[in-house]
Amino acid sequence: EVRLVESGGGLVQPGGSLRLSCAASGFGFSHYSMNWVRQAPGKGLEWLSYFVNSGTTIYYADSVKGRFTISRDNAKNSLYLQMNNLRAEDTAVYYCARDGGRAWESDYWGQGTLVTVSS
Amino acid sequence: QSALTQPASVSGSPGQSIAISCTGTSSDVGGYNYVSWYQQHPGKAPKLMIYEVTNRPSGVSNRFSGSKSGNTASLTISGLQAEDEADYYCSSYRSTSTFAGVVFGGGTELTVL
């Protein structure tokens, strides 16, 4: 069974940093590209970043470029999102999602971890 | 990046069919067959319903179907059931001179009357 479990969310002050983790199991993690997607309270989905399985390509949304860094450790079957210089508008549930490898679809999602940026 | 355009809400009665539109540009929906649709129930993670415009993942009911014409993609749900009541999001790959990645629509709330 494919399983994605996010962790690392919590309350952080504006300007602070947080590192999210996503533990993957039930599939060959190193063979799949991965995404981070977030959802602000009561709002829609926002794609944030993509890390190709081969490790050669990374994409970011403009809203987080230069502040967030995606990384992965295939030996630990884990995906990460380092978030710096956090703003109130970064408050959201953050999901990691597996790229299905066919047409930029996310075929499996974690349950999400809540990040709250507030003083 | 600007989001894809979806209606904020649609509704239908049990047994009826409804369609949700998703309008983009030639840089995303119109330029690639990389449109996906997701269903999200309150408090839950999104679930993939359609990928590559028309394809259903294993386990998704054949009451869900997708199509595309020009810059607009559509999700059709036939034989509406109470459990279909949820938020639906489209997404597409987008490539421009300054951006490559995924964009989502703003989401559509489906109410089953």
Q: What is the pLDDT of residue A56?
A: 82
Q: What are phi and psi of B84, to 5 degrees?
A: -80, -15
Chain B contact for A113 (CB, 8 A cutoff): no
Q: Is A111 on the interface with B (CB under 8 A)?
A: yes
pLDDT at B1: 72
Which helix (H) or strand (E) segment holds residue B91: the answer is: strand B86-95
Chain A environment of B106 (Cβ under 8 Å)? 44
Confidence of residue A1 (pLDDT cuts 50, 70, 90): very high
pLDDT tens digit sequence for B46-87: 999 999 999 999 999 999 999 999 999 999 999 999 999 999
Q: Where are the strands (E) in chain A, listed by range?
A: 3-7, 10-12, 18-25, 34-39, 45-51, 58-60, 68-73, 78-83, 92-99, 106-109, 113-117
Give me the residue from B46, B55, B92 closest to A45, CB to CB.
Answer: B46
Q: How far is B77 from B17, CA to CA, in rounded Å? A: 6
Question: What are the pLDDT digits (tens) for A23-35?
Answer: 999 999 999 999 9
* Residues paired with A67 in a beta bridge: none
pLDDT for res A24? 98
